[in-house]
Amino acid sequence: MNTINAAKDKQVWNSSKVIDVYTTVAQLQKPEQTILNLLRDRLPFMRMLDLGIGGGRTTVHFEPLVYEYLGSDYAENMVEACIKRFPNVGERTRFEVVDATNMVGVPDKYYDLILFSFNSIDCVAPEDRNKVFQEALRAGKPGGYFVFSSHNLRYLRTMYRLKWYKKPNELLYQFYRTAKLIYHNGLPGKYDRNDFAVIRNGIEHFSLNIYYSKPEYQVKVLKQMGFQSVRAFSYKTGQEIPLSQLNSVTKDAWIHYLCEI
Ligand SMILES: C[S@@+](CC[C@H](N)C(=O)[O-])C[C@H]1O[C@@H](n2cnc3c(N)ncnc32)[C@H](O)[C@@H]1O
């Protein structure tokens, strides 16, 4: 079984090559836009903790709208890059190093909105994952929200599938990628009975192992942890997915979860 070494992976997130990529992106994913629209009227009154901000993609959209904003990442160089990228923020905005599994210095019941976007939670080792939920429940205000996205184990077969490309170099890359997926993880059928698995999916040139789970299992865990209500949204369409349909979602590479604290 693949494992996740968060301390080692931090070196990847701290590298200038990766930071250069993440500081140039600004677009919200469709479900993030849906959730922003759902909360829009309340954002001016909300204190927001943005975890794992990377190069500040979500900062661009949320920071100007919320009452107070703390942008954070466990990779120090990402935080430094955000300070440089957003020099003109207001006095109620800060950027700080925070590890989502152990949010030292973050007060109890303080934040109305906690975001851990773009599958950042999947960089956390399976044995530490619940610590993130515990910390969100601790630092979030009752009635507030924890929003995150996470890889969908039911997408695995779709991910391995070879697509037809006219350009030979793109086609060749497909073969290379699928061969690498098989080499690192075995065939996708191996995980059919799993609730979750750690997969080397190609992110950052196959340097990282990433947590995948079946969406209905993720919802079960969130409810067991104590979130009051959980909603799921499709990465592809941005639309809400009824929880009863989560066990047939195979086309979304990841799912967005909106959880009430
Ligand atoms: C895929 S990037 C996403 C960056 C950003 N959220 C975005 O949407 O562009 C994952 C980010 O999560 C951060 N990260 C991983 N594990 C973390 C942890 N335990 N606590 C805080 N940040 C973490 C990484 O340093 C990296 O910046």
Domains of the chain, residue spans: 6-151+215-260
Does the pLDDT at position 240 exceed 90? yes
Between the CA of 76 and the centroid of ligand 1 the distance, in Å, is: 11
Q: Which two tokens stand for residue 174?
A: 């497909």
Q: Quickly state the pLDDT bin for 171 (edges 50, 70, 90).
A: confident
Residue partners of 17: CB distance under 8 A and separation at least 6:
none
Using an 8 Å Cβ cutoff, are 48 and 111 in contact?
yes
pTM: 0.97
Polymer length in residues for the chain: 261
> What mean pLDDT comes out for the span 220-247?
98
pLDDT for the residue numbered 227: 98
Between the CA of 177 and the centroid of ligand 1 the distance, in Å, is: 24
- What does each C-alpha distance from 157 to 61, 149, 161, 163, 253 come to in angstroms? 33, 19, 6, 12, 10
Does the pLDDT at position 63 exceed 90? yes
Three-point CA angle 51, 53, 58, nearest 5°: 110
Mean confidence (pLDDT) of the chain: 96
Does the pLDDT at position 167 exceed 90? no
Between the CA of 8 and the centroid of ligand 1 the distance, in Å, is: 14
DSSP string, 173-236: HHHHHHHHHHHHH--GGGGTT-SEEEE--SHHHHT--EEEE-HHHHHHHHHHHT-SEEEEEETT
pLDDT for the residue numbered 164: 79
Q: What is the CATH number of domain 6-151+215-260?
A: 3.40.50.150
State how far Cα 64 lies from the chain centre: 21
Out of 61, 123, 203, mutate this one to test ligand 1's pocket (max ligand atoms within 8 Å of CB): namely 123
**Residue type present at position 26:** A
93-126 burial, b at 16+ Cβ within 10 Å, e below that, comes to bebeebbbbebeebeeebbbbbbbbbbbbbbbbe
Between the CA of 50 and the centroid of ligand 1 the distance, in Å, is: 10
pLDDT for the residue numbered 166: 81
Closest CA to 212 of 165, 167, 261, 249: 249
pLDDT for the residue numbered 212: 98
- What does each C-alpha distance from 30 to 33, 55, 58, 119 come to in angstroms? 5, 19, 12, 14
Q: Which atom of ligand 1 is nearest to the CA of 116?
A: 6
pLDDT for the residue numbered 15: 97
State how far Cα 18 lies from the chain centre: 16
Out of 57, 73, 82, mutate this one to test ligand 1's pocket (max ligand atoms within 8 Å of CB): namely 73
Between the CA of 120 and the centroid of ligand 1 the distance, in Å, is: 4
> What mean pLDDT comes out for the span 64-79?
98
Question: Greatest CA separation found in the chain?
Answer: 55
- CB within 6 Å of ligand 1 — which residues? 6, 13, 22, 25, 51-54, 57-58, 73-75, 78, 99-101, 117-120, 123-124
